[in-house]
């Protein structure tokens, strides 16, 4: 009765038993991260290298963003490649390893015990990513369908693997000499491998497929997407070379500028998809997701400002560094997830509950399975909390930080409420 919003038939839809645990875990991680943000908001007036900030960053990066993305990828990749996921067992294995490893890693950072708990947690996360990469790689290799979106996704998974391997090496470097310099020196490279290589490439690749699809737009432009792909990967490689070979800070303008151009091209792609859409009415979830496209530009602008500050000042520009990280994890990544969760998860739940009841009569649509007033309240709370906390970072204002963190916690509670409503949905009775 209801076609997949992902554009594939039921045969190409991965079992809900594989996908839903990732969404549920991500929702809880977001809530826990918001709680930690509230109780640790004072740390955002100091240096960026602090135990609580490291814990929150990794919980947001791994427990929230990566777990949601892994779950969605198991659903989306079969649609992109028009072939089934290679192995549900590998997917279950990936979830179990990550679910066990992330709390150990975050706990290790929070109490700053980088011994066996953190190292075991990091090792489990690496094994989880290996299982995921193997599953995606084999799935794509068995498909006869090749497209730019699948290339984005696969390349992003390779960068994810490099990110977690490098991160694990840095973790061991705190207690054993793995590198010639201390781990703090390499954290900038580690962070950008993950943010640009994993998150950004993945978001661009999947977003370029989903946004036209959800807008019901006829717009397609593979050459433009290939240009974006080349720009982002070139920028990341150049940044790595400049960092490892100690080139002047000013040269980092080049990779930052390349990413900025790529994002402007992607914004143009989304605008054209919007202009050529068939469905004129845009729902609230798509509005939040399109807002996230605009928020993509914000971290790059902050980065360019940070480079300028470092060039003209001997200071550390701590508040700008903190704002940069905040706009990435609580900005565009969170905005994208808040929007796309309620475009993809309702269909997954609907397919689970109503797939075999399609002949029984009138049934709800996927969008009827969650509360739209709660969703709108969540969106308002998120935007308000993001602005207040961001201003608190820039101004080093404790009251703004605490208020912003409280409102963001409210947004996380509302998000979890709606996710729980979805996951506990029972068939409507006549």
pLDDT in tens, 304-357: 565 555 545 444 567 777 887 888 888 878 888 888 888 888 888 888 877 766
pLDDT of residue 230 exceeding 90: yes
Partners of 291 in the β-ladder? none
Return d(Cα 39, Cα 400) in angstroms, integer: 14
- Rounded to the nearest 10°, the torsion over CA 383, 387, 389, 391 is 180
pLDDT of residue 299 exceeding 70: no
CA angle 295–256–250, rounded 5-degree value:
135
For residue 10, with 0-12 CB atoms within 10 Å meaning exposed, 13-18 middle and 19 or more buried, which class applies?
Answer: exposed
pLDDT band at 56 (very low <50, low <70, confident <90, very high): very high
Distances (CA, A) of 416 to 25, 242, 409, 421: 10, 42, 11, 8
pLDDT at 1: 28
pLDDT band at 240 (very low <50, low <70, confident <90, very high): confident
* Secondary structure of residue 277 in the 3-state scheme: strand
pLDDT at 11: 43
Distances (CA, A) of 218 to 9, 76, 82, 176, 278: 19, 19, 19, 55, 8
Mean pLDDT of 175-186: 77
Residue 244: count other Cβ atoms within 10 Å of its Cβ. Answer: 10
Question: Between 22 and 139, where is the model more confident?
Answer: 22
Range from 207-221, 250-264, 285-299, 344-358 carrying the lowest mean pLDDT: 285-299
Residue 81 contacts residue 67 (beta carbons within 8 Å): no
Range from 2-11, 62-71, 117-126, 252-261 carrying the lowest mean pLDDT: 2-11
Return d(Cα 273, Cα 271) in angstroms, integer: 5
pLDDT of residue 78 exceeding 60: yes
Q: What is the pTM (predicted TM-score) of this model?
A: 0.85
* Secondary structure of residue 217 in the 3-state scheme: strand
Q: How do the residues of the chain divide into helix, strand and coil, expressed in percent and rounded to 5? A: 80, 0, 20
Q: Where are the alpha helices (DSSP H) in 365-397?
A: 372-395
pLDDT band at 2 (very low <50, low <70, confident <90, very high): very low
**Domain 10-423 listed as CATH 1.20.210.10:** yes
Could you report the per-residue pLDDT of 81-92, keeping only the tens digit for each?
A: 777 888 899 999
The structure tokens listed for 266 are 């992607």
pLDDT at 384: 93
The overall average pLDDT reported for the chain is: 82
pLDDT of residue 190 exceeding 60: yes
pLDDT at 168: 93
pLDDT of residue 10 exceeding 80: no
Return d(Cα 197, Cα 166) in angstroms, integer: 13
Partners of 146 in the β-ladder? none
Distance of CA 415 to the CA centre of its chain: 16
CA angle 133–138–142, rounded 5-degree value:
150
Mean pLDDT of 283-297: 59
Residue 420: count other Cβ atoms within 10 Å of its Cβ. Answer: 14
Could you report the per-residue pLDDT of 122-151, keeping only the tens digit for each?
A: 999 999 999 999 999 898 888 776 688 888
What residue segments make up the domains of the chain, in order of their start? 10-423
Percent of the chain's residues with pLDDT above 70: 83
Could you report the per-residue pLDDT of 351-397, keeping only the tens digit for each?
A: 887 776 655 567 777 788 888 899 989 989 998 999 899 889 888 88
């Amino acid at each position: 009765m209801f076609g997949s919003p992902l554009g594939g038939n039921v045969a190409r839809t991965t079992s809900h038993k594989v996908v839903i645990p990732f969404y549920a875990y991500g929702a809880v991680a977001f809530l826990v991260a918001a709680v930690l943000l509230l109780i640790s908001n004072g740390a955002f007036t100091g240096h960026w290298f602090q135990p609580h900030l490291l814990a929150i960053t990794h919980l947001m990066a791994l427990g929230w963003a990566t777990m949601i993305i892994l779950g969605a990828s198991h659903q989306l990749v079969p649609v992109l490649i028009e072939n089934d996921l290679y192995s549900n067992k590998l997917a279950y294995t990936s979830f179990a390893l990550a679910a066990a490893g992330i709390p150990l890693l975050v706990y290790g950072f929070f109490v700053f015990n980088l011994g066996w708990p953190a190292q075991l947690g990091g090792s489990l996360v690496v094994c989880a990513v290996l299982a995921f990469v193997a599953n995606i790689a084999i799935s794509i290799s068995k498909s006869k369908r090749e497209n730019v979106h699948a290339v984005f996704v696969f390349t992003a998974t390779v960068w994810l693997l490099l990110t977690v391997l490098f991160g694990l090496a840095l973790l061991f470097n705190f207690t054993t000499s793995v590198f010639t310099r201390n781990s703090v020196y390499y954290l900038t490279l580690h962070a950008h491998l993950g943010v640009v290589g994993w998150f950004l490439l993945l978001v661009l690749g999947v977003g370029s497929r989903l946004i036209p699809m959800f807008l019901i737009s006829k717009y397609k432009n593979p050459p433009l997407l290939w240009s974006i792909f080349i720009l982002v990967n070139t920028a990341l490689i150049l940044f790595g070379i400049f960092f490892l070979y100690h080139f002047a800070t000013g040269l980092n303008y080049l990779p930052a500028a390349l990413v900025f151009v790529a994002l402007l091209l992607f914004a143009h792609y989304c605008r054209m998809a919007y202009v050529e859409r068939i469905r004129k009415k845009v729902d609230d979830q798509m509005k939040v997701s399109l807002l996230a496209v605009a928020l993509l530009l914000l971290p790059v602008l902050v980065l360019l400002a940070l480079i300028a500050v470092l060039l003209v000042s001997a200071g550390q520009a701590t508040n700008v560094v903190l704002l940069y990280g905040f706009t990435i994890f609580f900005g565009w990544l969170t905005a994208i997830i808040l929007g796309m969760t309620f475009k993809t998860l309702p269909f997954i739940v609907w397919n689970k509950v109503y797939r075999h009841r399609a002949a029984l009569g009138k049934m709800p649509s996927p969008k009827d399975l969650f509360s739209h007033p709660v969703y709108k309240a969540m969106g308002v709370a998120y935007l308000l909390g993001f602005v207040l906390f961001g201003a608190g970072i820039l101004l080093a204002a404790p009251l703004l930080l605490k208020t912003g963190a409280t409102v963001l916690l409210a947004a996380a509670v509302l998000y979890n409420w709606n996710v729980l409503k979805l996951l506990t949905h029972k068939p409507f009775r006549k």
